Amino acid sequence: MNKTEYLKTAGRFDGVAFKPDGGWFFQANSGTWGLKIGLKVTDDVSEEGKCTEWVGWLSDKAMPRTIKVLNEVFNFNGDLNALQDGKIDFADRPCSFTTEKETKDGKEYLRVKWLNPINSKPTTPGPASDEVKGFIASINAKTKQMAAENQEDVLGF
């Protein structure tokens, strides 16, 4: 990430993308390839100019979601070669992002959970109450059984 102040606040922000110091692509210790995009807050007075990074994984399982997000947010055509060669650039493109705090190995950190087009709003209402009740009713016995089995494992019965 560029040398700047890191965002430490969970929330929803409008911002602009930038190319991280190490480039768009990286390989995790696990060997999985990913694409990262620097994000700079532009709409929040107390957080303006602070930065974070969004990571989209390029594994077989995660790649469809990563490309879908990039297409929706930046109208990306999927040409990773063009991105690597500098023919396509996400820098200075507006977007919206949501961060949340997570704990891993006892350490709290901030991650970008959602990357969305600028000024995006939910386009569909949540499920109707009856739908939720029906869904819960269809799985409730199973989830209670799972919890009971876990309790048995924990207590050793």
Q: pLDDT digit string (tens) for 79-93?
A: 999 999 999 999 999
User: pTM of the entire structure?
Assistant: 0.73
φ/ψ of residue 109, rounded to 5: -145, 165
- Band the pLDDT of 144: cuts 50, 70, 90: confident
What is the structure's pLDDT at 136? 82
pLDDT > 50? residue 2: no
> Average pLDDT in the 5-24 region?
93
Specify the DSSP class assigned to residue 135. Answer: H
Q: Is the pLDDT of residue 77 over 80?
A: yes
- The token pair that represents 100 in the structure block: 């949340």
Q: What is the rounded distance in angstroms from the CA atom of residue 106 to the CA atom of residue 7?
A: 20
